[in-house]
Amino acid sequence: MEERQPYGSVTAKTLRDLAELVGPRNVSGDPEKLAAYSHDEVPSASLPEATLAQALVFPESTEHVSLVMAYADRHRIPVTPRGAGTGLSGGAVPACGGILLSFEKMNRILELDRENLTVTVEPGVVTAEINRAAAKHRLLYAGDPCSGDASFIGGNVAENAGGNKVIKYGATGAQVLGLEAVLADGSVTWFGGKRRKDVTGYDFVHLLAGSEGTLAVITKIILRLLPLPKHTTDLLAPFGSVEEALGFVPRIVIEAGLLPASVELLDRRAVEVAMRYLNAKLPEPDAAAHLLIQLEGNDPEVLADEVEKVGDLCLAHGARQVYVADNRTARDKLWKARKAVPEAIVAFHSRYAKEDVVVPTGSVPTLMVALEEVDRAWGVEHIAYGHVGDGNMHVTLLPPEGPEGPEKLREARHDLYRRVAALGGTLSGEHGIGLKRRDDTPLFLDEAQLALIRRVKAAFDPKGILNPRKIVPGN
Ligand SMILES: Cc1cc2nc3c(=O)[nH]c(=O)nc-3n(C[C@H](O)[C@H](O)[C@H](O)COP(=O)(O)OP(=O)(O)OC[C@H]3O[C@@H](n4cnc5c(N)ncnc54)[C@H](O)[C@@H]3O)c2cc1C
């Protein structure tokens, strides 16, 4: 990589130049606005090197993005792309000031192509709008992060967001067929397209999916669509122990021979905090763990049989009861409880370590035992919930009271990481690395891979202006 420092500074002239390129209404240097846009859902104080942007740009077109990138390239000004700012890793938080590129004005669904089963969108479309637009045509856009009512599709692609349906349909990257991207020097190119297969050249589409805005700026996205399942049923199964709940999960595939759309776990503390937050009740609040299982199908009778089969299996494997939600209201109530957990934790706890570890699915039971050991070793408490069907647990560690709390929390987090690594797991399953986890990547990626990541970054972004200092140390 070329020598990257010092970056060019952003001055009053820079703001004037940018206004000339994209129009004055699309540029702001207002300190209040800059502060509001320079954070995501991670408290900035906990992020190493978090800075404020110095110029805010709201592009309205690919051409705008290209002009801004070419300008930034000439003046060596860092650029941080930003979606809705719902990220949980500080990915959209500038580490070196510079320009913040917010995509809220590039928010059009450009085309829903029923022949090719694709939808082409700009990066600022709210994820749930794509789900709804597809559903109107009885089609499914399968990306389904819990933040879908707020997050943008560009942020989903850049994070390779997961969510509730990964077990059946894969993460966001699996839905992406093509990307229009603006490279660091302002040139515009397409990776992939509407094709279902493509082995012509490297698979840049899936390199960009999950690249967290460090390699290129995504300006259009072609997503695959699938037939929308006609019927959906959710089952809520409270278990007396976490081990029983986890022991049951693989039985759905192995014994029932079914691939559910979702399998989510909420431990007792997760249920407690969500119910307190919502001022609501689940029927068995003292159960050690709840599983939320979603099944889909086209034939209501077949689906009813499958629901019965899974329900019976749950009971045979220790579920205290099985509650079936087969209408919209009942299902929404269950998912509201599941989706409330992260917000509830933030509402009731001022200090926490919100983790996103993932282990091979067969190792989740060992992970849960390891968590108990981490609690005992450091005096912390944990809340565990998340996409257990994928082995991706959102573990939140809570520190003990007292002055040594923060240090114990830090130690507990590292202890957890070591145990996850030993299980063949990794640091983040879907929330990404950003600034928050950057310095922990060397525990999970060896030197050869860290060096390769830096070389890939340098190949895409020789001047190091695109979302610098993210993902691995030295980027
Ligand atoms: C309550 C809650 C629930 C959540 N649930 C889930 C979940 O179930 N699954 C999950 O995976 N995540 C979840 N998240 C995390 C977050 O919503 C996702 O990471 C989401 O994909 C971020 O989208 P965003 O538009 O907010 O992006 P931002 O946070 O604004 O940005 C995220 C990253 O994308 C980059 N970026 C944004 N737009 C572009 C672009 N056009 N080109 C290049 N790079 C770009 C940014 O630079 C940054 O690195 C949750 C968050 C919250 C607060």
What are the structural domain ranges in the chain? 109-227, 231-346, 353-437
Higher pLDDT, 32 or 4: 32
Average pLDDT score over the chain: 96
Nearest to 272 by CA among 258, 288, 261: 288
What pLDDT, in 10s, does the model give residues 450-466?
Answer: 999 999 999 999 999 99
Q: How far is the CA of 445 from the centre of ligand 1 (A)?
A: 23
Domain 231-346 has CATH 3.30.70.100: no
Beta strands in 166-261 (DSSP E): 176-182, 188-192, 217-224, 226-227, 231-239
Cα 341 to Cα 322: distance, rounded to the nearest angstrom: 21
Beta strands in 50-203 (DSSP E): 55-57, 79-82, 99-102, 109-113, 118-121, 139-140, 176-182, 188-192
Best of 82, 183, 223 to mutate for ligand 1, by most ligand atoms within 8 A of CB?
Answer: 82
Helix ranges, 151-208 (H) = 153-159, 166-169, 172-175, 204-208
Cα 179 to Cα 220: distance, rounded to the nearest angstrom: 6
What pLDDT, in 10s, does the model give residues 138-180?
Answer: 999 999 999 999 999 999 999 999 999 999 999 999 999 999 9
pLDDT reading at 3 higher than 70: no
The mean pLDDT of 416-441, rounded to a whole number, is 97
- The CA distances from residue 306 to 154, 312, 388, in Å, are 36, 10, 20
- The pLDDT of residue 2: 47
pLDDT reading at 89 higher than 80: yes
- The pLDDT of residue 45: 87
Q: 263 has which bridge partners?
A: 293
What pLDDT, in 10s, does the model give residues 194-246?
Answer: 999 999 999 999 999 999 999 999 999 999 999 999 999 999 999 999 999 99
- The pLDDT of residue 4: 52
Cα 412 to Cα 180: distance, rounded to the nearest angstrom: 42
pLDDT reading at 7 higher than 80: yes
Best of 62, 101, 159 to mutate for ligand 1, by most ligand atoms within 8 A of CB?
Answer: 159
Strand order, beta sheet including 353-354 = 323-325, 231-239, 289-297, 262-267, 381-387, 392-398, 353-354
The mean pLDDT of 111-122, rounded to a whole number, is 98
User: At what angle are helices 242-254 and 300-316 packed, to 10 degrees?
Assistant: 140
Cα 449 to Cα 470: distance, rounded to the nearest angstrom: 15
Q: Is residue 210 a contact partner of residue 160, using CB atoms and an 8 Å limit?
A: yes
Q: How far is the CA of 349 from the centre of ligand 1 (A)?
A: 22
Sign of the Cα torsion 361, 365, 366, 368 reads: positive
Q: pLDDT confidence of 364, banded at 50, 70, 90?
A: very high
Nearest to 253 by CA among 122, 365, 91, 362: 362
Q: Is residue 214 a contact partner of residue 280, using CB atoms and an 8 Å limit?
A: no
Cα 71 to Cα 74: distance, rounded to the nearest angstrom: 5
Q: How far is the CA of 158 from the centre of ligand 1 (A)?
A: 7
Helix, strand, or coil (residue 202): coil
The closest residue, in CA terms, to atom 2 on ligand 1 is 147
Query: Within a 10 A sphere around the Cβ of 240, how many other Cβ atoms?
Result: 15
The closest residue, in CA terms, to atom 15 on ligand 1 is 87
Q: How far is the CA of 315 from the centre of ligand 1 (A)?
A: 37
Cα 29 to Cα 93: distance, rounded to the nearest angstrom: 16
The mean pLDDT of 411-436, rounded to a whole number, is 98
pLDDT reading at 395 higher than 70: yes
Q: How far is the CA of 267 from the centre of ligand 1 (A)?
A: 25
Beta strands in 243-380 (DSSP E): 262-267, 289-297, 323-325, 353-354
Which amino acid would we find at residue 23?
A: G
Residue recorded with tokens 């968590």: 371
Q: 223 has which bridge partners?
A: 119, 176
Chain length of the chain = 475
218 CA: nearest ligand 1 atom: 42
- The CA distances from residue 217 to 130, 366, 408, in Å, are 20, 39, 39
- The pLDDT of residue 22: 98
Cα 30 to Cα 466: distance, rounded to the nearest angstrom: 22
Best of 42, 69, 86, 93 to mutate for ligand 1, by most ligand atoms within 8 A of CB?
Answer: 86
Cα 315 to Cα 344: distance, rounded to the nearest angstrom: 30
Best of 146, 153, 167, 388 to mutate for ligand 1, by most ligand atoms within 8 A of CB?
Answer: 146
Fold equal for 109-227 and 231-346: no
- The CA distances from residue 337 to 67, 193, 265, 271, 282, in Å, are 45, 38, 12, 8, 9
The mean pLDDT of 277-300, rounded to a whole number, is 96
Best of 39, 100, 147 to mutate for ligand 1, by most ligand atoms within 8 A of CB?
Answer: 147
Q: pLDDT confidence of 1, banded at 50, 70, 90?
A: very low
What pLDDT, in 10s, does the model give residues 27-70?
Answer: 999 999 999 999 999 988 889 999 999 999 999 999 999 999 99
Q: How far is the CA of 327 from the centre of ligand 1 (A)?
A: 30
Query: Within a 10 A sphere around the Cβ of 66, how many other Cβ atoms?
Result: 20
What pLDDT, in 10s, does the model give residues 312-334?
Answer: 999 999 999 999 999 999 999 99
Q: How far is the CA of 156 from the centre of ligand 1 (A)?
A: 5
181 CA: nearest ligand 1 atom: 42
Q: Which two tokens stand for residue 16?
A: 């004037």
Q: How far is the CA of 202 from the centre of ligand 1 (A)?
A: 25
- The pLDDT of residue 44: 87
Q: 119 has which bridge partners?
A: 112, 223
Q: Is residue 124 a contact partner of residue 107, using CB atoms and an 8 Å limit?
A: yes
- The CA distances from residue 207 to 204, 249, 456, in Å, are 5, 31, 10
Q: How far is the CA of 85 from the centre of ligand 1 (A)?
A: 7
Cα 339 to Cα 331: distance, rounded to the nearest angstrom: 12
Q: How far is the CA of 84 from the centre of ligand 1 (A)?
A: 7
Q: Is residue 158 a contact partner of residue 168, using CB atoms and an 8 Å limit?
A: no
CATH topology of domain 109-227: 3.30.465
Cβ < 6 A, ligand 1 pocket: 40-41, 80-88, 91-92, 103, 123, 145-147, 151-152, 154-156, 158-159, 161-163, 212-213, 217-218, 342-343, 430-432, 434, 467
The CATH number that domain 353-437 falls under is 3.30.70.2740
Q: 139 has which bridge partners?
A: 227
User: Any idea what the Cα angle at residue 224 is, between residues 220 and 228, rounded to 5°?
Assistant: 135
Helix, strand, or coil (residue 473): coil
